[in-house]
């Protein structure tokens, strides 16, 4: 059985737009044509796709299952279109950065600010995703630079690790533990703790620290970004341990930072494609990243010494 691409397009339009009228507009045809093509598609596949109640269509269970497959094929085409668009914008002088949210919110704005002071003609676009989806984005799209926390091997890319500093404790401004300059894992026993998600690499490292110290923390919440952790800590939801770059960018925002007695080194990974027409520009951006990291490390060190 070979299906007609036009009918698949119409089926996808109905499922996506939830309306036959809207679907007709989306594919540029009339509503009677939509109805006729769907009936023909149902005849070919041998089962009903929609239950009809007057002018209203309700997808059957089989239609939902079929659309999952159809949707994946359309996603593939969308990715090809996005890649073509990315290649086009690269030729127009746009520098594309893929980054996890923690870095997109802390270091990337400072890097761009520094870079544009001397090269204002460069146009930056930032794509922020959590680590798993970021890897997918870097596989399916064209980027000039990637900023992550985790190293991962890519045959078509080079990875450079930039050490930053140790992870730091973050507390509500008036928390009882704020009176101490250095906090040991034992100090967190029974404290309400704001966690990163289970798959976060630094969540796993911190959990190992507290397990080794035989410390049980009270679960307060779990979130995906360091900025969100800081926001919840600032509202008194709990305490936590976060990366030093986010800490440096949140100093003075209703939270305080303290050293953690156990060293948990934090580093960022810079990903660059091996074959690129922008190698020189990428090197300058990476140099700016290193300069900003050094400045933020120095500022955080001064904050922790107060």
Percent of the chain beyond pLDDT 90? 41
- Can you list the domains of the chain with their CATH numbers? 5-83 (1.10.10.10), 92-164+267-304 (3.40.190.10), 166-265 (3.40.190.10)
Mean predicted confidence (pLDDT) in 36-53:
86
pLDDT tens profile 239-249: 999 999 999 98
Examine the pLDDT at 30 and tell me if it is beyond 70. yes
pLDDT on residue 25: 87
Contacts of 149 (CB under 8 A, 6+ apart): 100, 102, 103, 131, 201, 202, 243, 266, 267, 268, 269
3-state secondary structure 105-132: HHCHHHHHHHHHHHCCCCEEEEEECCHH
The residue with greater pLDDT, 90 or 195, is 195
pLDDT tens profile 158-208: 889 999 999 999 999 889 999 999 999 999 999 999 999 888 889 999 999
Q: The tokens of 2 are what? A: 């070979």
**Tell me, what's the pLDDT at 35?**
86
Q: Which residue has the higher pLDDT, 123 or 291?
A: 291
pLDDT of residue 152: 64
pLDDT at position 67, please?
85
The mean pLDDT of the chain is 86
How far apart are the C-alpha atoms of 70 and 176, rounded to whole Å?
Answer: 56
pLDDT exceeds 80 at position 236 = yes
């Amino acid at each position: 059985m070979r299906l007609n691409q036009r009918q698949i397009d119409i089926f996808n339009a109905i499922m996506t737009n939830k309306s036959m009228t809207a679907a007709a507009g989306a594919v540029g045809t009339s509503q009677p044509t939509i109805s006729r093509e769907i009936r023909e598609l149902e005849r070919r596949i041998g089962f009903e796709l929609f239950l009809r109640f007057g002018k209203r269509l309700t997808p059957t269970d089989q239609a939902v299952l079929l659309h999952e497959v159809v949707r994946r094929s359309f996603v593939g085409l969308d990715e090809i279109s996005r890649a073509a668009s990315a290649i086009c914008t690269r030729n127009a002088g746009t520098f594309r950065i893929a980054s996890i949210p923690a870095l997109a919110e802390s270091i990337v704005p400072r890097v761009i600010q520094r870079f544009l002071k001397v090269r204002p003609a460069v146009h930056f676009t930032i794509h922020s995703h959590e680590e798993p989806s970021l890897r997918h984005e870097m596989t399916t799209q064209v980027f000039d630079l990637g900023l992550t926390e985790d190293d991962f091997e890519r045959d078509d890319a080079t990875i450079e690790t930039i050490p930053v500093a140790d992870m730091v404790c973050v507390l509500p401004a008036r928390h009882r533990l704020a009176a101490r300059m250095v906090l040991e894992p034992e100090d967190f026993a029974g404290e309400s703790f704001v966690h990163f998600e289970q798959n976060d690499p630094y969540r796993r490292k911190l959990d190992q620290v507290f397990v080794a110290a035989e410390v049980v923390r009270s679960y307060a919440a779990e979130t995906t970004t360091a900025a969100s952790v800081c926001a919840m800590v600032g509202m008194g939801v709990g305490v936590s341990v976060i990366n030093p770059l986010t800490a440096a960018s949140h100093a003075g925002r209703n939270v305080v930072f303290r050293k953690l007695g156990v060293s948990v080194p934090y580093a960022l990974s810079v990903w660059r494609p091996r074959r690129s027409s922008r190698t020189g520009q990428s090197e300058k951006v990476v140099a700016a990243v290193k300069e900003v990291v050094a400045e933020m490390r120095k500022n955080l060190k001064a904050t922790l010494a107060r």
